[in-house]
A and B are shown apart, each in its own frame.
Chain A
Amino acid sequence: ETGVTQSPTHLIKTRGQQVTLRCSSQSGHNTVSWYQQALGQGPQFIFQYYREEENGRGNFPPRFSGLQFPNYSSELNVNALELDDSALYLCASSAASGGAIDTQYFGPGTRLTVL
């Protein structure tokens, strides 16, 4: 177990709705990264937060947004859900500092189904 937790475990939404996914990072970690894993694919980077600021973004539209809180937990928000947003959403925490690379540890994921 990595100490990274995510909620909820599963979620079913309909097209056009909005969703918020949550992640608690491992103790001592200040960086959270979010990934989307479609069925049968490898995870794709959405964005990363370091000390409450966005620190890089992948090729995802603006309706994917995030937050990081002072305790380093994080939220991923997706507006105007589309069918293709159905996926496993993974969060990973790391102890990166000032741009230094550190290993990312993943949570169990949230399975989002959009109908």
Chain B
Amino acid sequence: GEDVEQSLFLSVREGDSSVINCTYTDSSSTYLYWYKQEPGAGLQLLTYIFSNMDMKQDQRLTVLLNKKDKHLSLRIADTQTGDSAIYFCAEIGGATNKLIFGTGTLLAVQP
């Protein structure tokens, strides 16, 4: 079946690194995504990784993919208060190209 799991909450201090983790079950996933959602807003695409890659870096963001363990992580370096939001990982699943989302991780950044 298709399932994506994330931890619910992460609290960090401003300036520290944040690591948000995600596990998925669909081994045929070709792309995996990270989206950010601020209160009352839609989803903002942060980054994505193709399934044949192990790592992708984009400025403060680093995505690590362990395909064997079906584990995805998002590291945010030098976390700022503006990074406080809910972060969703998602896999693309099936012939319909539908996104399958986790329940989201609330990141709280303490000043």
User: A residues near B, CB below 8 A?
Assistant: 2, 4, 6, 31, 33, 35, 40-45, 48, 55-58, 90, 92, 94, 96, 99, 101-109, 111
In chain B between 17 and 61, which residues have their CB closer than 8 angstroms to a CB of chain A?
Answer: 30-31, 33, 35, 40-45, 48
Number of interface residues of B (CB under 8 A): 26
| Contact indicator B42/A56 (Cβ below 8 Å) | no
A60 and B100 CA atoms in complex are apart in Å by 15
A2 and B42 CA atoms in complex are apart in Å by 10
A35 and B95 CA atoms in complex are apart in Å by 17
- Report whether over half of chain B's contact residues are helix, strand or loop; otherwise say mixed: strand
| Contact indicator B99/A104 (Cβ below 8 Å) | yes
User: B residues near A, CB below 8 A?
Assistant: 4, 30-31, 33, 35, 40-45, 48, 88, 90, 92, 94-104
Chain A residues with CB under 8 Å of B48's CB are 103
| Contact indicator A109/B41 (Cβ below 8 Å) | yes
| Contact indicator B103/A41 (Cβ below 8 Å) | yes
Given contacts A106-B43, A108-B41, contact A94 B102 (CB under 8 A): no
Chain B residues with CB under 8 Å of A101's CB are 30-31, 92, 97
Q: What are the 3 A-B residue pairs with the smallest beta carbon separation, nearest first?
A: A56-B96, A42-B101, A45-B98
| Contact indicator B103/A43 (Cβ below 8 Å) | no
| Contact indicator A45/B99 (Cβ below 8 Å) | yes
Chain B residues with CB under 8 Å of A104's CB are 45, 99
| Contact indicator A42/B88 (Cβ below 8 Å) | yes
Given contacts A103-B45, A109-B42, contact A48 B103 (CB under 8 A): no
| Contact indicator B35/A106 (Cβ below 8 Å) | yes
Which residue of A4, A33, A99, A107 contacts B98 across the interface (Cβ within 8 Å)? A33
- A7 CB to closest chain B CB (Å) equals 13
Can you list 25 pairs linking A and B with CB atoms under 8 Å apart? A33-B97, A33-B98, A33-B99, A35-B99, A41-B103, A42-B88, A42-B102, A42-B103, A45-B96, A45-B100, A48-B97, A55-B96, A56-B98, A57-B96, A90-B43, A94-B97, A101-B30, A101-B97, A103-B31, A103-B33, A103-B45, A105-B45, A106-B35, A106-B42, A111-B40
